[in-house]
Amino acid sequence: MFETTAFDAHHPPDQDLIDDCVHCGFCLPTCPTYVLWGEEMDSPRGRIVLMDRGLDPGSDMSAEMVTHFDRCLGCMACVTACPSGVQYDKLIEATRPQVERNHHRSLSERLWRSVLFAAFTHPARLRAVAPLLAAYRRSGVPAALGASGLLDRFPRLGAMERLTPPVSAGAMTRRLPELIPAAGVKRARVGLLQGCVQRVFFHHVNEATVRVLVADGFEVVAPASVRCCGALMLHSGYEAKSFALAKKMIRAFEDCDYVAVNAAGCGSSMKDYGHLMRDDPEWSTAAQAFSDKVRDVTELLEDFGPVAERHPVPLTIAYHDACHLAHAQGVRSQPRDLLRRIPELGLTEPAEWEVCCGSAGIYNLLQPEAGAELGRRKAANLLATKAQAVAAGNPGCTLQITRHLEEQGEEIPVYHPVELLDMSIRGASRPDSSIRRASAGDGAHRAGAGPGDREGDDGPTPEGGAGGVGRRRGSPTGEERP
């Protein structure tokens, strides 16, 4: 008699990939949840054991098994650390959709996830709530809620409230042109994913990305119709919805030589479309061709080399490795090399660079306690470098790190590497430490001719205006400010 297993027949975890794991333990010190709790089943090799059991005839998708899968951040640090080349990324990537298809989540859990996807993957909806968020920040309600302790009773809502960045009414209206010509000789035609959260809360990063690409000889195509790459849903196991978004994007960038991404989580998914759609007869070839031309923006710029002159930016930066850039994409040297080309910019390295900050897509909103513990750990390591600012190549990391730096009393700015390069190319000068946060004012980060500029915009502001999320530069020594 045929016996069922915990997994259905559609792309279950591959037994051959499971068998590659020799349970050596090299992954343990790099796994965030094992670092936190020391539980074997909350380590990569422990979860691989659960996958193996799930393939046994007669097994089922137990609640305990799902708990350990859900606790995985999907940071892929274990992939970097593994001496046996175990492809844990493909294993967890296959397991998450199995969980969503074969495990019945509670109504409250389903509703919470639906709310997150309904909001964060729709830029138009985020723009619509921007004025409400701005009014909320000015109302004094956040301080009252914090004092009341009410948010502590609802950790997920509390995490969302604390992570939501300041926004301005301008977030509703600012747009990039859909075609921006290269400065000088065109080297390539590059599509730019504007993203969903990135487009609304970090529009200044997109603007800086366009300016840098144009200055270095790239024609940029930024179609507004591509609203989301589907990464948030894909990393959570919602394959069908993420594939629908992916297919729209593949078509939109067909005539581009490359596709540049400035959000690490998006880039890791986009580079994997070819594998994910491997058995789709209509889309497999197009998906692979698309993945082959996806580049992180730092990767693309380093591959081609600089054209525009770099001017000094006198800052000491602690570089944070976004997991989906360093581990999932293997892009570690390019952002550092890009930053080292900037005169007078110093680069420092935090301890535990390989351990996730706890953001991991929507992980910090689904597992707020673990996410917060990892965020505090990451902030402490970054502060220990005594750097004046942080560089991070992913919006989720920026929000997470900013929150925990502020909670430790150090509101130092967090930049995307491309923002620092933009400052350098345009010869931006450092302002004083009283600059408002980037999102707190309309266009406070822009200067000169460039995409999205409006008359009357102020100049670039490396201490929180040109994209630094921190309100002001804290003491690099970690001492209290007067």
Verify that 396 and 425 share a domain, yes or no: yes
Residue 166: what pLDDT? Answer: 76
Structurally, the chain folds into a number of domains equal to: 4
Verify that 267 and 196 share a domain, yes or no: yes
Residue 2: what pLDDT? Answer: 53
Verify that 215 and 332 share a domain, yes or no: no
Please indicate, yes or no, if residue 233 is contained in any of the structural domains.
Answer: yes
Q: Which among 301, 321, 338 is the end of a domain? A: 301
- Burial class, 260, CB count within 10 angstroms (exposed 0-12 / middle 13-18 / buried 19+): buried
Instruction: Give per-10-residue mean pLDDT for the chain (482 aa).
Output: 82 96 95 96 97 96 96 96 96 96 94 90 83 75 73 81 75 84 96 91 93 98 90 87 91 96 95 92 95 97 96 96 96 96 96 95 94 97 97 95 92 94 86 34 36 36 35 29 29
Please indicate, yes or no, if residue 271 is contained in any of the structural domains.
Answer: yes
The two tokens of residue 2 are 């045929």
Q: Which among 71, 102, 133 is the end of a domain? A: 102
For residue range 325-371, list pLDDT tens digits in order: 999 999 999 999 999 999 999 999 999 999 999 999 999 999 999 99
Residue 138: what pLDDT? Answer: 74
Please indicate, yes or no, if residue 64 is contained in any of the structural domains.
Answer: yes
State which residues form the domain around 134. Answer: 120-171
Paired sense of beta strands 315-320 and 258-261, if any: unpaired
For residue 185, give the amino acid letter: V
Verify that 248 and 155 share a domain, yes or no: no
Q: Tokens 């309100």 label which residue? A: 471
Q: Which of 89, 88, 91, 82 is nearest to 26 (CA)?
A: 82
Instruction: Check the CA dihedral 362-363-366-368 and report its sign.
Output: negative
CATH number at residue 67: 1.10.1060.10
